[in-house]
Amino acid sequence: MKEIVSDYQQEIESKEYKACSYKINGIKIIERTAKRTPKKIGQFVTCWKRNKNGITEPHKQTDDFEFFIIKAITKNNRGFFKFPKEVLINKGIVSTEKKDGKRGFRVYPAWDKPTSKQAQKTQAWQLTYFTDESN
């Protein structure tokens, strides 16, 4: 089946994360590129939007998207996470009526070896949705 990309939009405010959204065969996707940080293992990515009052807020369960793709790139490695919205709701990243989500979070690609128990636990569930494109 041929993939048809439509409705591509760059998000100016999150330019440093190469933020954009688009549809593939009618399925809405939000995309970011995570950033390496100097002191912690893993990469950080933003996942907020502006509400009608201009205030940043986490994405909501009712927002129109199905997947959140996060690219992870280093000098020697590259890959991406393709998180279904439902998973991000279950992990508390996307807001519901009962719980606020997050404006950003850390991702742990397969090549990272986190040492903290919490980071290891996070990496374990994230890797289910990770595709390594390294050579």
| Residue 115 structure tokens | 């040492």
The alpha carbon of 112 is separated from its chain's Cα centroid by a whole number of angstroms, namely 17
Dist CA 74 CA 77 (whole Å): 5
CB 20 within 8 A of CB 9: yes
Which residue, among 19, 28, 23, 29, has the nearest Cα to 4 in the 3D structure? 23
- For the stretch 6-33, pLDDT in tens is 999 998 888 889 999 999 999 999 999 9
Dist CA 67 CA 63 (whole Å): 11
What pTM, to 2 d.p., does this model score?
A: 0.93
Residue ranges of domains in the chain = 5-132
Whether pLDDT at 66 is above 90: yes
* CATH (residue range 5-132): 3.40.1350.140
Dist CA 21 CA 6 (whole Å): 10
| Stronger pLDDT, 119 or 38, i.e. the higher one | 119
